[in-house]
Amino acid sequence: MNQDTLTNSIELKTKFLKQIDSLKIQNQLDKLKYEIDTQNSIATEVNNFYDSAWLKLLIVITILGIILPILVQYFQRKNYKELAENLKNSFDNKLDILKYNYELRIDKIVTEYEKNLKELETKNDMAMYEIDANTYYLQGRSLMLERSFVPAVFSYLKAILQLKKCNRIDRIIPNLNMLKRALDKVEPERINFLDKVLANKFESDFESVMNKIDDEISIDSTILVKTTELRKIYLDKKTMPNNV
């Protein structure tokens, strides 16, 4: 009786321990399953996150691949346009400055050229007046040798007027001396002929020509003394009885 009771007790205990072990195993399995499910859930979420992120990245890359070149091209064109306009404006400004500077230089060169040309023309005119004066002076001397005194008077008068034009006042006195010699040789009856020659050549009479010689001559100049003498000689011959 006691033996059976002990045996039953042992069997119950053994059965109880097996149940406990079974529960422990089941608990461990459940725990393991939970952990596996949890890990799978995390892995799924991570996978979904990466899939979503990758998809978004692909979308962003696609959008950037389409829009970014357009934007870059737009800004490049805008920058190129602005750069081209700036370069054009800069070129136009520099061109205007160059044109202005060249115009100033050209105007300066033209002004200097015109000034030099005018000075050259003036010098040339002066030289020609002096050459003419020398020619008429030599012509007067030649006419004196030929005893053609009226033409000689005209030649010396012309020489004196040309010397005044080229401002060679220093050479007028010798010509006035030669003019006095020629006028002294003119016969009174030839004075009227002299008047005609002067009227034809100078469109003036003897007195008017003398006034041209005296013009702008200093009052204390020897020239005025000489012209005064010449006027007296002319008037004396003009008023001689044989010439009236």
The burial of 163, by beta-carbon neighbours within 10 Å (0-12 exposed, 13-18 middle, 19 or more buried), is given as buried
Question: 71 in a domain, yes or no?
Answer: no
Q: Looking at the 3D structure of the chain, how many domains does it have?
A: 1
Q: Domain range holding 126?
A: 120-243
What would you report as the CA-atom Rg of the chain, rounded to the nearest whole angstrom?
66
Question: 49 in a domain, yes or no?
Answer: no
Cα–Cα–Cα angle for 112, 114, 117, rounded to 5 degrees: 105
Q: How does DSSP assign 140-166, residue by residue?
A: HHHHHHTT-HHHHHHHHHHHHHHHHHT
pLDDT at residue 63, rounded to an integer: 67
Question: 111 in a domain, yes or no?
Answer: no
Question: 143 in a domain, yes or no?
Answer: yes
pLDDT tens digits, residue range 144-178? 999 999 999 999 999 999 999 999 999 999 999 99
Range among 6-15, 36-45, 108-117, 155-164 rated most confident = 155-164
Residue 213 CA to residue 35 CA, distance in Å, equals: 141
pLDDT, greater one: 96 or 193: 193
Residue 172 CA to residue 137 CA, distance in Å, equals: 11
pLDDT, greater one: 213 or 103: 213
Mean pLDDT across the chain, nearest whole number?
A: 83
Residue 184 CA to residue 191 CA, distance in Å, equals: 11
DSSP at 242: G
Which amino acid is present at 122? T
Question: 59 in a domain, yes or no?
Answer: no
| pTM flag (> 0.95) | no
pLDDT tier for residue 219 given thresholds of 50, 70 and 90: confident
